[in-house]
């Protein structure tokens, strides 16, 4: 039987019981944004964005991430997708989940041996090499591209750092 504590009373008065929906229901995620129509799987988009925020300094070790349910609700995607992203990030050492269930940015986001870290980056390097070659770019042009991205990240990092210092 329906539980006693939430029984409806009949007849229900529309004026009394039906208010306008609260703003919360229209809420979006402040942190992340996914584009389901792109060819990139949603969980990968989440992972990439989280890593990007960490690399840029917008997320620092100890910051709490939204719960799986909240993030899924805010993004209007399945909790399985969010859970997968969080799991992958945790496996990579980027995030850490505590007993209570909340997920935080790991203290030392990367705690692997250098050799392990290099091994992890290799597939991405390979992808750049393959793509660049296919696009008929010189090796030097490809390297310059990568360098520019690294510079841009550092710039963002500095800017966040300034912001942090100002607000602390």
Partner 1 sequence: MNDMAIWSEKLVKTYPGVRAVDGLSLNVPRGVVYGFLGRNGAGKSSTIRILLGLARATEGHGTVLGFAIGREQVAILERTAYVSEGKALYGGLTPWELVRFTRGFYPRWSDRAVRKYSQLLEIPMDRPFSKLSQGNRTKVCLLLALSQGADLLIFDEPATGLDPVVVDVFLRILAEDVVGEGRTVFISSHQLSDVEQIADWVGLIDHGRLLLEARLDDIKSQFRWVTAVGRDLPQTNLPEAFLMASEGNFHKYLVKKDAEAFAAELSRQGATVAEVSPMSLREIFLALVRMEEPCMSGNVGEIAAPVSSSF
Question: Looking at 54, 59, 65, 68, which residue binds partner 1 (CB under 8 A)?
Answer: 68
Instruction: State which residue, 20 or 166, has the beta carbon closest to partner 1.
Output: 20
Q: Is 76 in the site for partner 1 (CB under 8 A)?
A: yes
State whether the Cα torsion 46-52-56-61 is positive or negative: positive
26 touches partner 1 (CB under 8 A): yes
**Rounded CA gap, 18 and 123, in Å?**
55
Q: Which two tokens stand for residue 149?
A: 């991205």
Q: Does the footprint of partner 1 cover residue 11 (CB under 8 A)?
A: yes
Q: Which of 51, 65, 85, 60 is nearest to 153 (CA)?
A: 51
**Quick one: which segment of 8-16, 97-105, 106-114, 148-156 binds partner 1 (CB under 8 A)?**
8-16
Give yes or no for residue 124 binding partner 1 (CB under 8 A). no
Virtual torsion, Cα 62, 73, 79, 97, nearest 10 deg: 10
Residues lying near partner 1 in the complex (CB under 8 A) are found at 1-3, 6-8, 10-12, 14, 17-21, 25-26, 36-44, 68-70, 72-81, 84, 130, 134
């Amino acid at each position: 039987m329906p539980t006693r504590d939430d029984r409806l009373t009949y007849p229900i008065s529309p004026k009394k019981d039906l208010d306008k929906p609260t703003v919360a229901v229209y809420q979006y995620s402040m942190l992340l944004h996914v584009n389901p129509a792109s060819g990139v799987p949603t969980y990968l988009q989440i992972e990439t964005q989280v890593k990007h925020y960490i690399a840029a300094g917008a997320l620092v070790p100890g910051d709490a991430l939204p719960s799986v349910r909240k993030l899924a609700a805010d993004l209007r995607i399945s909790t399985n997708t969010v859970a997968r992203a969080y799991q992958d990030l945790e496996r990579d050492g980027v995030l850490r989940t505590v007993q209570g269930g909340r997920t935080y940015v790991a203290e030392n986001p990367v705690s692997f041996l250098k050799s392990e870290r290099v091994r992890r980056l290799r597939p991405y390097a390979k992808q750049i090499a393959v793509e660049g070659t296919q696009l008929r770019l010189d090796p030097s042009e490809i390297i310059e591209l990568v360098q520019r991205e690294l510079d841009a990240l550092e710039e963002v990092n500095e800017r966040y750092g300034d912001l942090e210092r100002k607000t602390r």
